[in-house]
Structure 1
Amino acid sequence: MVTRLRSAVVLATAVLSLAGCASEGDRPVAGADPAKAGPQGEVGPRSAAPDSGAVPTGTPTASAPEDPLEALRQRLVTALRAADPGAAAGTLTVEQRPAAENQLVITWTVNTDPSDTTARARVRLDAIALLQAVKGVSMGYGTVLLIATGAVLDKNGIETEAKVVRAKYSRQLIARTDFTKVSPEQVLALPDDKPADIHPAYR
């Protein structure tokens, strides 16, 4: 009787031991993410990490188109400074008049001192440089009107600012003229519409 009882205990112990081994196989692998573990306890697939050097797929913001008149003004300022380093290039303005066949009106100050004896020659050099610069642009225009202002003395000897040169050039004239070969004394005699209006102090 005692021998049978011992055999039963040994058998029960063996059964419990086998059950424990089976439950060990169901435990997840150490360090694995239970949510990603497969039925055999294997780690599931991982997503690739984003490439830190990847180019953004979003559409880049387009820069605003440059104002053609401002681009022309910058071109003229550069030309004016190259021809006359002492010029007040910051005073230069450009206006387009649609009602006058898209006429370009270029205005600048040639001097602020009525006793400046170089102003007469400089305004002519300025005109050559500006016309040559306009010749290289593709924007549409009918004529170019150059207006140079400067300080002069009126008939009473009082200093005042006046339009010292006003000269208009047609697009056709500008297109066919090589202004690099035009002399300072010629440039204000070229207008094909009407003679340039020149202040007595600048003639």
Structure 2
Amino acid sequence: MQGFGDVSGHFRSMIQGHCDVVVVGVVFGDLIQAGRCAKKTVRKISNVDEAKWSDLTDTQKRRFIDCIAGNDDVEFGYAKFTREQMQTLENQYLLYQDVCFPPDWDLALTGYAYGEILFENGAHDEHRISFEFDHVASQKQSDDIVSHIEEFVPGSKPKYNSSHNSLGIQAADCFAGAVAEDHKSDTNWLDTIDRDRVVACSETSLVQLENDLYNYDR
């Protein structure tokens, strides 16, 4: 199994009311197939060397979505989180403090979400897993995300990379961005993709975070 991940939005901004939703997205497929549509998108835009959903026009977004919808060699997974969901968690007030389990709660939830998506897509049954996600602010923080992915899929040994260097991560950025835009603007990007190729999950990640908050508060 091979997959690539990225996040649309920021958890801390979301709970402060500055961001409507956070989507953790994964594109499954080998490096060539997973990155093909991102490469095709960039190739058709002058002076742009990286596919980012927030930088695309509606026409370019449609071309990307149509491309991945027509590529049966890739599948998708996402976990969507809203401020309202976070406010239902027991001890959710701790999210507004400097909580470190370790790691910081937002890094933990990112790792849990990636891990849950991989698990629900069958990674726990695979002997060989290759998963790469977009790095965060520091190597230590990226390593923290890795450790929490492995709580869901032990031995998976995820890696992180710059999206600039990975077409697969760029595809995940665009996929996550499309899911987030559907939530915020009532668009229908995701409806274009066969639902049998998309896994949606977030409940187990939130349960794990809630358990961490409970233990932290004891």
Measured against the shorter chain, the TM-score band is under 0.3
Which structure would you say has the larger RCO, counting Cα contacts within 8 Å and 6 or more residues apart? Answer: 2
Larger radius of gyration: 1
Structure number with higher helix proportion: 2
Q: TM-score, normalised by structure 2?
A: 0.21
Q: TM-score, normalised by structure 1?
A: 0.22
